[in-house]
Structure 1
Amino acid sequence: MGVCFSSGPTQNSSSLDRPYYSGSASTNCKNVGITETTSSSTVNRQFSVIVSGSIYRRPLSLPLPPPDGLIPKWPNLKVFDFEELKSATNNFRHDTLLGQGGFCRVYKGWLDEDTLAPTKAGYGMVVAIKRLNPESTQGFVQWQTELNMRRLSHPNLVNLLGYCWDDDEHLLVYEFMPKGSLDNYLFKRNRNLELLSWNTRLKIAIGAARGLAFLHASENNVIHRDFKSSNILLDGNYNPKISDFGLAKLGPSKGQSHNYNPKISDFGLAKLGPSEGQSHNYNPKTSDFGLAKLGTSEGQSHNYNPKISDFGLEKLGPSEGQSYVTTMVSGTFGYVSPEYCLTGALYVKSDVSGFGVVLLEILTGMRTFDAKRPTGQRNLVEWTEPLLSSKKKLKTIMDTEIKGQYSLEAAWQAAQLTLKCLKFVPQERPSMKDVVETLEAIEAIQNPQFAMYISTTPSAGS
């Protein structure tokens, strides 16, 4: 798995500290074309996708508030107004801020457990409230994507409780995960946090694998696109839940793949042709600077170096073995699969590569990229891949915090699984269902008393 970019993220960035990146769609929630309907409060909003220099508009089915200002309800989700969430966070006070990034800020809020009405800080149920940046065009797309993921429910996926759409304000309300994200524990960002034992790490790896396997199951067919340790949240008992579905993608029908074939649309500037033998004389006037760029000096050119960003762009994936091809790469540095990074091809098994990186972080306690490490060791995958096949060398890279807690055989089996997940060719990687089964077998090696319970463990797709 090669290095796709010249530099990694800053070491002090939070799990939400990601650079702004326009993603695969050029969208503005304030200037979205609307196709009116008369029979429903749902309209087709259109956003533009740049495809080989052309603009392809595809519809987004979004609820439009009716004239009385009410927002249509989606099943099983609480519809909040902005003032309720403002109250729940004490006016989005700074000390309730959990994290922030280019597209959003996440706040801690308090709601009544039964009614979900806002309460005073310290009373009722704690929730996480994601407030999308109203100035971020990509944030609107991610907000809608996360809402579309509401239909999926699994013990290892973070639970969406409700949403708010109030003029330019778009918010999502999630269950609160008290232990925070996995990366804080692995990379020891806070010395006051408990150390994760080997058994707890296995438990987290198995739970996260089950969540991904559920997303990949044929009836769901979802590619997460930003699977990483900071998107694995932990409840009070260290049960993991996958979060941040903004980049997820739904897949096409079985055996098909997504082809982004642009269709001509938006005839607002079309002109009827002149009579035969005549021509139009166009005196151009410059307009619409939405995608304009400031020019370079003479003899220079623009260099479009892609930067990876957050999974508000999650995609529901194509069928296994099929792929998307896109000219825009989204994700996070160090976790993006080589085929997606190098060619734009996106497979279900692109997520498996990301899982392999996280599993490597769990084994070593080291981040995927660290500029502070010696030259040759900064990229964790490139440095450790040759060491994972040797039991003797494996000991040298295992996290010293768990020394003496694991059997060498269990650690070696986990290392072999990591190598399989990191295979360069997507088709050579195991499915997440196979990953779950392998991890459960490793847990049985480490803890023989668990072996009898493996057969009763919920299946990966359940």
Structure 2
Amino acid sequence: MWTDDLLDMRYVDKGQDLYLRLAESELTPAAAAVPPSLPSRPRAFPTGPVIGAVGSLVGILLVAFLVLVVMRRRRRRRPSNTGPTTPEGFIQRTTPAPTVPSSELSSLKKATGDFSESNIIGRGGFGIVYEGHLPDGRKVAVKRLIQYSLTDEGVNAFVREVGVMSKLRHGNLLQLLSYCQDGKERILVYEYMKNKSLNLYIFGRNPRLRALLNWDRRLEIVRGVARGVAYLHGLSEEVIHRDLKSSNILLDDNWRPKIADFGTAKLFVVDETDPTLIKSAGYTAPEYLSSERHLTLKCDVYSFGIILMEIISGKRNAVTPALLSDAWESWNQGTISDLLDPAVAQPEPELLFELERCVQIGLLCVQQSPDDRPTMSAVVAMLNSNSLQIRAPKRLMLDNKNESPLHEADRSTQEASGTSRSSYSVYLT
């Protein structure tokens, strides 16, 4: 900026050189040529670009600083996600997967009336389930782990259930809404299932409740459970439930089944043995009960086959010595209607074909050899297409004590000793 008077340099004694700093692009070719007698003209300082660059850099640094502050605050609120590895190969985390939101303990106490006895809707080996009411009016099921069960096994089951269920999104799997980890409290919050557990209807002593599940509903329940298990097995990291049973199948307002209780679930690893046996009487596959405890996806297929037979018959496999043999005889002799729960009205003649197919599929699922059992995706296809051909199941040798296929070693031992098969086993022919 020039604040003095303007003077014509031509009239100043001895003259005076005046230097102007301009961008080279603003000079014409003629003006850009500097006479040899004059010194070279220095270039102007790029004030505008420098100010812009500095401003951008300050803005970037400010944003990075804010992001760093937010991340540090979140880390302070949340314990570390890593911990020692358990014997089963799971990382023992103190905080479950972050994809499921956490709930405050105070809000869950308020929702359940401070875990009132009057709000209890179920009990299990590790916890008690309460009916809860959220501020927006929604009902939820609040599963609170029992304090004395918070051993390493109990804590690992909690972490496993949150970790697995946070990744699952399927209409036939119970949805985990949130979790709470506060001191010694471990709590899981699920969507509420109005019609509760499947076993209340198929095993209940009240004929009216049993009759609520007519054949059409039972067939849809079978199909829904099959879809849910097939979804687990079809994930990029295949999931084995390991504890499929009728009591772990819940029913919503529309009688749609949803598989629950993933505290025992784990990722499938080829040729894996399982050091921790998860055994539910009547539902466990024979190869998993063996000394090797060989674990495959076909273990879930076997458990599904048992559930299918129980849904059809209304009989519990663990307490009915001849359920599977009765199913074989009914299918083999064409007397399928005799197997159906007496509390259920007989289906129309054209629907008896579906009943027969279901029994045949169930027998395939409980084959002794895992290789003889279909995959769950194949089971879904067979249940939903009456035109699809189904192979005949092989005959089974069953142990009357738990109505499960005998192992090869058990079979050879009995045959070598000449033991009467009527005392210990029955051939299905």
* TM-score tier (shorter): 0.5 to 0.7
Change beyond 3 A, Cα 1:96–1:379? farther
Q: For residue 145 of structure 2, what is the aligned residue in structure 1?
A: 132
TM-score for both structures, normalised by structure 1? 0.62
- Among 333, 339, 363, the alignment partner of 2:281 is 333
- Residues 179 and 236 in structure 1, CA contact (< 8 A), matched pair in contact too: yes
Q: Give the residue type in structure 2 aligned to 1:331.
A: K
Following superposition, the deviation at residue 431 of structure 1 comes to 0.8
Normalized per residue, the structure richer in helix is 2
- Give the equivalent residue in structure 1 for 2:253: 236
Q: Is the 8 A contact 1:158 1:242 kept in 2?
A: yes
Report the equivalent of 1:59. 91
Shift of the alpha carbon at 1:155? 0.7
Any idea what SS the aligned residue of 1:155 has?
coil
- Are 1:157 and 2:170 an aligned pair? no
- One-letter amino acid of the structure 1 residue matched with residue 328 of structure 2: E
C-alpha separation between the residues in 2 aligned to 1:158 and 1:170? 18
- Alignment counterpart, residue 182 of structure 1, candidates 198, 205, 210: 198
Aligned to 1:99: 122
Determine the C-alpha separation between the residues in 1 that align with 2:216 and 2:91: 47
| Higher RCO (CA < 8 A, seq sep 6+) | 1
| 1:388 matches 2:411 | no
> Structure 1: which 5+ residue stretches go unaligned?
1-36, 50-55, 64-71, 114-123, 251-316, 371-376, 446-462
Are 1:162 and 1:172, in contact at CA under 8 Å, matched by a contact in 2? yes
Q: TM-score, normalised by structure 2?
A: 0.67
Query: Over the residues paired in the alignment, what is the CA RMSD in angstroms?
Result: 2.5
| Long gaps (5+) in structure 2 | 1-74, 390-429
Deviations 1:248-284 (A, max 9, x none): 011xxxxxxxxxxxxxxxxxxxxxxxxxxxxxxxxxx
Where 1:381 maps in the other structure, the secondary structure is helix
Match of 1:74 among 98, 113, 127: 98
* C-alpha distance 111-208 of structure 1, shift in aligned 2 (>3 A): same
**Where do 1:46-445 residues align within 5 Å?**
46=84, 48-49=86-87, 59-63=91-95, 74-75=98-99, 77-113=100-136, 124-136=137-149, 137=151, 138-149=153-164, 150-191=166-207, 193=209, 195-250=212-267, 317-318=268-269, 322-342=270-290, 343-370=292-319, 377-392=320-335, 394-406=336-348, 407-442=351-386
Shift of 1:45: 2.2
Q: 1:380 to 1:90 in 2, by over 3 A?
A: same
CA distance in 1, matches of 2:341, 2:117: 35
What is the CA distance between 1:218 and its match in structure 2? 4.3
User: How many residue pairs align between the two structures?
Assistant: 307
Alpha-carbon separation, structure 1, partners of 2:85 and 2:259: 28
Cα distance change of structure 1 residues 47 and 103 upon mapping to structure 2, 3 Å threshold: farther
The structure-2 alpha-carbon separation of the partners of 1:191 and 1:419, relative to structure 1 and needing over 3 Å to count, comes to closer
Shift of 1:379: 4.8
Larger Rg, first or second structure (1 or 2): 2
1:166 Cα deviation from its structure 2 partner: 0.4
Structure 2 counterpart of 1:324, one-letter code = E
Q: In the TM superposition, what whole-angstrom CA distance separates every residue of 1:56-89 from its partner, at most 9, and x where no partner exists?
A: 88632433xxxxxxxx9823x3311212111111
